[in-house]
Amino acid sequence: MHDKSNRTALVDSPWDDFHGWSVRVYYEDTDAGGVVFYANYLKFMERARTEWLRSLGVSQQELSKQKGLVFVVSSLSMEYKAPARLDDLLTIQSVISDIRRASLNFTQRITLQDKVLARGQIRVGCVDINTMRPAAIPPDLYKRISSTSQR
């Protein structure tokens, strides 16, 4: 079990070691102006966080079934810098900026080649699926997450 003060901060140069996941922009992702609809960036980022967990050997479905835990977004802030368009191949880069007993802070950015199109700070909480109250991240998962954010 973790004490309440236990947390790990991100390394000084976070973008040296990020998890990357790519997605192609389809027609359904765009708005009437021909650019990606702003809320779809959040969907791309959600998928990237799921793939990051999967890269650690964690299935959110199994976490829910076996331990009765889910991750939920508790807060986020976004900054949009430039639009993405139909057929663009985007990369969503994700790093853990902070880990606490029952929550993770992600810093994510969406890039097209080397250009940053959007960036966000997302806090996800680990909650008990039955009570929807905060719950400690399981120790084995906490350790895996901590080790990836300290590389």
Query: Is 98 tagged catalytic?
Result: no
Task: Locate 146 and state its tokens.
Answer: 């901590």
SS3 14: helix
- Which residues touch 12 (CB under 8 Å, ≥6 apart)? none
Active-site residue among 3, 12, 31, 128?
A: 31
Check the CA dihedral 57-59-75-26 and report its sign: positive
User: What whole-number distance in Å separates Cα of residue 97 and Cα of residue 10?
Assistant: 5
Radius of gyration of the chain (CA): 16
Which residue numbers are catalytic? 31
